Structure 1
Amino acid sequence: MSLLSSLPAVDGYRKKGSGALPSAFAVSELATASVAAVGQELARLMTALNLAPTAPEVTVDHRLASLWFGYSFKPDGWDMPDLWDAIAGNYQTSDGWIRLHTNLPHHRDAALRVLETPADRDAVVQAVRSRTAAELETAIVAEGGVAAAMRRRSEWQDHPQGRAVARDPLIGWQGPRSIKLRDRLKATEARPLAGLRVLDLTRVLAGPVSTRTLAGFGAEVLRIDPPEWDEPGVIPDISLGKTCAYLDLKTPEGLECLKGLLTHADVFVHGYRPGALDALGLTKSKRDELAPNRVEVTLDAYGWQGPWSTRRGFDSLVQMSSGLAHAGMDWASADKPTPLPVQALDHATGYLMAASVLSALAEAASGNSIMHAHLSLARTAELLAVLGKTGPDDKAIEATAKDYAAAIEQSGWGPGHRLKPALSVGKAKMRWASPASELGSAEPGWPSLTI
């Protein structure tokens, strides 16, 4: 079985461009390699489906791949909302540092209850300073919030969860089974994923990056969110090419609608923690019953085994837990946590998720059995921690006007310009059929089934 398990060899694709995002770690190398993994697996799928007369060449623009790890969309004449809540950020404790992630109201409320303070940053600073990082992290998580104490790499490697993550494969494949792919008559050498239906139940940021990538090669992506859900500052970047709908899965009607959508999906991508789908009644056996021929890929924050396997988390928190922020502080000779220059764990995991989808499709197209793919931000952090730099750091990559497409994208918020794509696979060039749209801007249904 040839399911993707690691990054592709450098000689397996053509790389152009140079420079590096400034970091203690090989962030730009990770960007290029994870994007190349998508190209490699798409080339395999195209070959398996006889969409190309010969194995297509995979080309990655190193500079653009690095830039896509940041924001891909630049507004023209307006500003995107701030990415962070006013309380979110790093705080000094009595013995170190902790990061509070408060973008979601219930996460902010949980942190404030533990700290017994109003939503005032100065008050939070004072309250945090009197607590230890580990004690405060434990209390906030127990209250239903999300936080991460800053640890050294050595501390994480000795931590029970760090040891568990180190045992995880980069991409965990589970549950072998045989599937039959649906004929996609619209698929071509230029648009190899045309007609592929992808049901997207993911939130910021890795999952949406994966489905945005699939949409770029022609996939029909339907993203489902709870009513009134929003991710200010993020959605214009990652809803590109998708149909976005609201659906309340806590109601019988909403859950039945989702089940109907799943029966027509070729790919199911989700970011639910272990047991969360089961709680909705969507056990693996139920998903197999509803969509026996689907490809399924999922992720979580802290890995799929160990005491933190069900812990909520985000890229910025995993950087703190895993020692990346501490190593960055040493590298920068700084007196506070120094995170990666971009949310590299999210983006790299997202591209690896997209590559996993393509890998499973390629295996199925070749008549082989497939498995469900499991990835995590923490395991990607371990990859980054050992990945070597291949170029000098003196040529920092920063976006300029020439990095953006000339065409104006009329997003759901206003006009802007999108970065040029970083990946091509033979005649398959990335382009998106629709601009970025607001969440809940469409009805929950497959457009291709209503035309």
Structure 2
Amino acid sequence: MPHPLLNAAWSALDLPAAALDAIALRGEGELPSYFAVTDLAAASVGAAALAVQQLMVAQGGASARVQADRRLASMWFGWSIHPVGWERPPLWDAVAGDYATADGWIRLHTNAPHHRDAALAALGCAAERTAVTQTVAAWRGLELEEAVVAHGGCAAAMRSMDEWRDHPQGQAVANEPLIAFTAADSCVPRPWAWTRGRPLAGLRVLDLTRVLAGPVATRFLAGYGAGVLRVDPPWWNEPGAIPEVTLGKRCARLDLTRPQDRTVFEGLLAQADVLVHGYRPAALERLGYGESMRHQLNPSLIDVALNAYGWTGPLAGRRGFDSLVQMSSGIAHHGMQRQGADRPVPLPVQALDHATGYLIAAAVVRALIARLSEGRLLQARLSLARTARLLTDVPPAQTAGMPLAAATEADFSPQLEQTEWGPARRYRPPVAIVGAPMAWARPANSLGSAQPHW
């Protein structure tokens, strides 16, 4: 059957259209949403896996069949890890959430302590939900959004889809490609030691990303053998998400304001095959590692970047997260209208993050194909806002599909994952490539649990 989301993702990768014949989408059930979230899950996961299949062909292998499980892909868009005898820390800070304003709704994102401090500084109230609720109610939404942002925080007033389409940022994002590839002037070949069935084995991926899209991308790459080293500053933590997204990776810390750590980082960068980074635009430039410096340190580096609100337009440099983009882009407003609710109705999962993550992984693999078989060095840029546009451009079904059934024993991998917090069960992989099983060599682990070396 036609699959507009898969077709759009595959077209963005500029790989042979005939390769789509090799993929099958299976599984029943739909995530409860007024948007095609399950279709988005299957399309993004399937496109990433099909890109891996095309890489295997470029490595001299046969064209293998690919199967994406719509049910499992939907479940991985939530939480794939299920602790046994321990509890995952809460994902959301106590202040984070949706608040009624004088003229609508706004979402405050306060999971990071400095973002929480910024929101409270703008509001001038105590770090207590009742006080925040009362204070926010006196503000107009867009004015509070700007005030929080001016203090260095993260907030988004709720807009309708029409308001976002008319907004200069919505218009800018609509004119951006889903995956913006650019080619470097030159390409220095760099082979990696792949093996049969592990097409990314020997690949070095330097991960400078945080919740949630970038870590999803590098987790996928680790599943096909890539050596992923995640690097965070000493002060950063995201305890609620770490057990979910560090599967298969090593996690180290470096302070790039210290000369000795900068030396270590430059050595890592020089030896990397791939850099995936999700800092705001110009953040690496301010640290002295702008695009030209990165290319100077490593002329064969595949550089893939993501941000929240897109790469052009007046809000291109704004801090943002999935839940904020859902508010800005009209997704939460549309859900509220369709449901007849009295508050924002977001997607049932952080679908923009997850889908963008798999598209990032697909972009990395596409760049590997270009470097291996075409002698080209590709870089790529993606954004949560552009993925939101992909989702909202596809008309959802007018009637609800079969609900996604609750997880059963058959949905889980048979082996327990021995994380450093305790044993856990993890869903089976959402895709299968004949001859190349997705599997991770390392269990989930905490930030800073490894040394910063390859």
TM-score by length of 2: 0.94
Corresponding residue of 2:53: 43
2:94 pairs with one of 62, 86, 89: 86
Amino acid at match of 1:156: W
1:367 pairs with one of 368, 374, 389: 374
Question: Aligned to 2:228, what secondary structure does the other structure show?
Answer: strand
Identity of aligned residues (%): 55
Moved over 4 A (4+): 5-12, 388-392
Amino acid at match of 1:87: V
Corresponding residue of 2:73: 65
Q: Shift in Å at residue 177 of structure 1?
A: 3.6
Does the aligned pair in 1 maintain the 2:188–2:300 contact within 8 Å?
Answer: yes
Q: Following superposition of structure 1 onto structure 2, how do residues 148-297 of structure 1 map, counting pairs within 5 Å?
A: 148-185=156-193, 187-297=194-304
Distance in 1 (CA, whole Å) between partners of 2:232 and 2:274 is 17
Q: Shift in Å at residue 26 of structure 1?
A: 0.3
Question: Aligned to 2:184, what secondary structure does the other structure show?
Answer: strand
Amino acid at match of 2:107: R
Corresponding residue of 1:449: none
Q: Following superposition of structure 1 onto structure 2, how do residues 98-177 of structure 1 map, counting pairs within 5 Å?
A: 98-177=106-185
Q: Shift in Å at residue 398 of structure 1?
A: 3.3
How many residues of Structure 1 are paired with residues of Structure 2 in the alignment? 442
CA offsets per residue over residues 277-333 of structure 1, 9 Å max, x none? 111111212111111111111100000000100000000000000000011112222
CA offsets per residue over residues 377-416 of structure 1, 9 Å max, x none? 0000000102245795233343233211121111121111
Q: Which moved more, 1:282-291 or 1:73-82?
A: 282-291
Does the aligned pair in 2 maintain the 1:35–1:351 contact within 8 Å?
Answer: yes
Corresponding residue of 1:34: 44
Corresponding residue of 1:324: 331
Distance in 2 (CA, whole Å) between partners of 1:190 and 1:153 is 44
Amino acid at match of 2:44: S
Q: Shift in Å at residue 276 of structure 1?
A: 1.2
Unmatched 5+ residue regions in structure 1? 447-451
Q: Shift in Å at residue 3 of structure 1?
A: 7.0
Question: Aligned to 1:134, what secondary structure does the other structure show?
Answer: helix
Distance in 1 (CA, whole Å) between partners of 2:384 and 2:360 is 11
Q: 1:29 to 1:193 in 2, by over 3 A?
A: same
Corresponding residue of 2:29: 19
Q: Shift in Å at residue 180 of structure 1?
A: 3.9
Q: Shift in Å at residue 228 of structure 1?
A: 3.4
Corresponding residue of 1:398: 406
Does the aligned pair in 1 maintain the 2:370–2:378 contact within 8 Å?
Answer: no
Question: Aligned to 1:365, what secondary structure does the other structure show?
Answer: helix
Does the aligned pair in 1 maintain the 2:28–2:402 contact within 8 Å?
Answer: no
Q: Which moved more, 1:326-335 or 1:431-440?
A: 326-335
Q: 1:177 to 1:369 in 2, by over 3 A?
A: farther
Amino acid at match of 1:282: Y
Amino acid at match of 1:198: V
Does the aligned pair in 2 maintain the 1:3–1:360 contact within 8 Å?
Answer: no
2:308 pairs with one of 301, 309, 314: 301
- Is the counterpart of residue 435 in structure 1 residue 443 in structure 2? yes
Q: Shift in Å at residue 114 of structure 1?
A: 1.1
Q: Which moved more, 1:312-321 or 1:418-427?
A: 418-427
RMSD, aligned CA: 1.7
Distance in 2 (CA, whole Å) between partners of 1:47 and 1:12 is 12
Distance in 2 (CA, whole Å) between partners of 1:260 and 1:402 is 44
Q: Shift in Å at residue 202 of structure 1?
A: 0.3
Distance in 2 (CA, whole Å) between partners of 1:321 and 1:398 is 31
Amino acid at match of 1:332: Q
2:388 pairs with one of 369, 381, 386: 381
Corresponding residue of 1:333: 340
Q: Shift in Å at residue 93 of structure 1?
A: 0.3
Q: Shift in Å at residue 426 of structure 1?
A: 2.0
2:434 pairs with one of 420, 426, 431: 426
Does the aligned pair in 1 maintain the 2:12–2:179 contact within 8 Å?
Answer: no
Does the aligned pair in 1 maintain the 2:231–2:254 contact within 8 Å?
Answer: yes
Distance in 2 (CA, whole Å) between partners of 1:351 and 1:387 is 19
Amino acid at match of 1:281: G
Question: Aligned to 1:347, what secondary structure does the other structure show?
Answer: helix
1:350 pairs with one of 340, 349, 357: 357
Does the aligned pair in 1 maintain the 2:105–2:158 contact within 8 Å?
Answer: yes
Question: Aligned to 1:429, what secondary structure does the other structure show?
Answer: coil
Corresponding residue of 1:75: 83
Does the aligned pair in 2 maintain the 1:236–1:436 contact within 8 Å?
Answer: yes
Amino acid at match of 2:412: Y
Q: 1:154 to 1:388 in 2, by over 3 A?
A: closer
Distance in 1 (CA, whole Å) between partners of 2:321 and 2:147 is 18
Amino acid at match of 1:95: D
TM-score by length of 1: 0.95
Does the aligned pair in 1 maintain the 2:106–2:141 contact within 8 Å?
Answer: yes
Does the aligned pair in 2 maintain the 1:245–1:439 contact within 8 Å?
Answer: yes
